[in-house]
């Protein structure tokens, strides 16, 4: 083949690829569905893949356009694959609750052979998810929260000590890292029975593995790219793991060694791992006060394997430390910008603590109504998950339209966009805890507030997360006033990644008062 023929063939191939890409990127347009700007190969997500723009920003741009045009939904493209986004809250309710059977799964790759820790409750699909959810629900009741409350409080002492040391010399603190170490210590204790002490030892193995698991680097981007471009069966052939190898080994070995030690020595602790041991031995959670670890009556139901235990412990750790630390960080940023709100919530905390002889108790937390509003408003303005993923598992006809969402289509719930919609929250950039007064809450559509999701896949750790946040904020505000340091980049923008994290770090000053 001479050069001229080769160039002609190359041009034809390139043209066909371009024409194919253009046709695929007109999927929504051909169905009279609003879609955003697209690019060759990347679809709608070019700036997320090759830049540092969160996907939620791209979705928000199209969402705002859809609102102006009175659209109830829109579409975009993950490379050449169409993704559907509901705008109308009744449609959001249909997807997350009413017609949940069409949208049970998140569409996240689960390969328990290549990536054992991927088989956790957040990722699991269909019946496996239902069974695991049922088994783990007993671990997150209000009774279990009361049980671990004092452990949370005990971990605040080292947090207050560190903040006081910085306050004395008027030195700023990078809060996201400090609070992540604080929540790591709590989860290490209430989850695994370990004294992690990463507050004083930032290089602890537990903390290092948590940082690695959430790092949204090039390696993870490439793997996510593969899941968007290739069929699941093909990806599984290559044994791709999304969990860093050393993190996988660390958590599986940690669970294995701890279980072996406890069963061999009949060690009993009131923690999450004990509940998982019961699920391994009995197939169900019995009584947390029951110290028996070995099933003497035989196994009557399906029980967890060590890898399944490790997967649930892994997601308990990640979700428990990262989202709570992020939420506390955003609360403190907002309070530093709104001193009158800070004064009001500090006064409530100090007043309630005085009523309980200066002790932070479970009952005292329950009486802090304004603190509840502050936490809710921060979760409204800065939801940890800005998009909630779903996948259509069987064809779904969008109510009152002719549009069919085909099985296999990604569906993203635009949490951040909904939370910043002025129709639901007037002046949405303003931090206003009174949005969550009983009157204002009852006047809003229940699906206008989704920091923990909604419907059957509502976050199982909701109680734990909010309790941990309140304990941390009480420990800080009962002792200190918080001020924004000039090193913090304002206005707040988010880094690309799984969890909403402020770009440039969050630096605050504390005044003992």
Q: Which residues are part of a known binding site for heme?
A: 459
Residues within the annotated binding site? 459
- In this structure, are residues 460 and 272 in contact, taking their beta carbons and an 8 Å threshold? no
Three-class DSSP category at 429: coil
CA 229 vs CA 89, 223, 403: distances in Å: 30, 10, 24
What CA–CA distance (Å, rounded) separates 457 from 130? 10
CA 293 vs CA 15, 195, 283, 406: distances in Å: 66, 22, 12, 47
Element (H, E) at 336: helix 306-337
Half-sphere exposure of 449 (CA within 13 A, CB side): 19
What CA–CA distance (Å, rounded) separates 170 from 158? 18
Residues 6+ apart with CB under 8 A from 236: 111, 113, 114
Q: What is the DSSP string of 375-414?
A: HHHHHHHS-S-SSEEEE-SS-EEPTTSS-EE-TT-EEEE-
Half-sphere exposure of 265 (CA within 13 A, CB side): 9
Token pair of 272, please? Answer: 């999450």
Q: Say what angle helices 306-337 and 462-477 make with each other, to 10 degrees.
A: 40
- In this structure, are residues 500 and 494 in contact, taking their beta carbons and an 8 Å threshold? yes
What CA–CA distance (Å, rounded) separates 180 from 187? 10
In 3D space, the residue among 316, 90, 60, 61 whose CA is nearest the CA of residue 188 turns out to be: 316
DSSP 94: I
Token pair of 62, please? Answer: 């199209």
User: Which residues are 391's β-sheet partners?
Assistant: 410
Rg over alpha carbons for the chain, rounded to the nearest Å, is 24
What CA–CA distance (Å, rounded) separates 378 from 351? 22
């Amino acid at each position: 083949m001479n050069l001229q023929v080769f160039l002609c063939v190359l041009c034809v191939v390139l043209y066909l690829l371009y024409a194919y890409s253009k046709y695929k990127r007109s999927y929504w347009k051909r169905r009279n569905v609003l879609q955003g700007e697209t690019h060759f190969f990347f679809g709608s997500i070019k700036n997320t893949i090759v830049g540092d723009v969160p996907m939620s920003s791209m979705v928000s741009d199209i969402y705002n356009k859809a609102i102006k045009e009175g659209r109830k939904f829109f579409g975009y493209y993950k490379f050449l694959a169409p993704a559907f986004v509901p705008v109308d809250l009744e449609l959001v309710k249909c997807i997350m609750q009413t017609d949940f059977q069409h949208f049970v799964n998140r569409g996240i790759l689960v390969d328990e052979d290549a990536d054992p820790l991927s088989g956790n409750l957040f990722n699991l699909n269909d019946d496996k998810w239902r069974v695991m959810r049922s088994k783990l629900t007993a671990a997150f009741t209000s009774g279990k929260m009361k049980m671990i409350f004092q452990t949370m409080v005990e971990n605040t002492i080292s947090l207050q000590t560190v903040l006081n040391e910085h306050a004395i010399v008027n030195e700023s603190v990078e809060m996201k890292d400090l609070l992540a170490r604080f929540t790591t210590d709590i989860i290490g204790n209430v989850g695994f029975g370990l004294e992690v002490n990463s507050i004083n030892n930032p290089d602890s193995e537990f903390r290092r593995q948590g940082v690695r698991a959430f790092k949204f680097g090039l390696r993870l981007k490439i793997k996510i790219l593969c899941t968007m471009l290739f069929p699941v069966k093909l990806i599984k052939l290559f044994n791709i793991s999304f969990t860093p190898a050393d993190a996988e080994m660390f958590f599986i070995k940690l669970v294995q060694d701890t279980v072996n030690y406890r069963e061999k020595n009949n060690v009993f602790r009131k923690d999450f791992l004990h509940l998982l041991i019961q699920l391994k031995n009995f197939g169900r959670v019995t009584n947390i006060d029951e110290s028996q670890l070995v099933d003497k009556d035989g196994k009557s139901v399906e029980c967890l394997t060590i890898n399944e235990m490790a997967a649930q412990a892994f997601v308990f750790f990640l979700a428990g430390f990262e989202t709570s630390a992020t939420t506390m960080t955003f609360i403190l940023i907002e309070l530093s910008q709104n001193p009158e709100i800070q004064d009001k919530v500090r006064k409530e905390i100090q007043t309630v603590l005085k009523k309980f002889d200066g002790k932070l108790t479970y009952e005292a937390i329950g009486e802090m109504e304004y603190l509840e509003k502050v936490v809710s408003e921060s979760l409204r303005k800065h939801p940890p998950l800005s998009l909630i993923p779903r996948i259509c598992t069987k064809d779904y006809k969008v109510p009152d339209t002719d549009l069919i969402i085909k099985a296999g289509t990604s569906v993203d719930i635009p949490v951040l966009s909904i939370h910043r919609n002025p129709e639901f929250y007037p002046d949405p950039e303003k931090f206003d805890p009174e949005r969550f007064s009983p009157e204002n809450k009852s006047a809003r559509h229940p699906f206008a507030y989704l920091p923990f999701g909604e419907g059957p896949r509502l976050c199982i750790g909701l109680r734990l997360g909010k309790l941990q946040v309140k304990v941390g904020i009480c420990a800080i505000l009962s002792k200190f006033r918080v001020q924004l340091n000039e090193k913090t980049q304002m206005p707040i923008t988010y880094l690309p990644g799984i969890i909403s994290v402020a770009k440039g770090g969050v630096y605050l000053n504390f005044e003992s008062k």
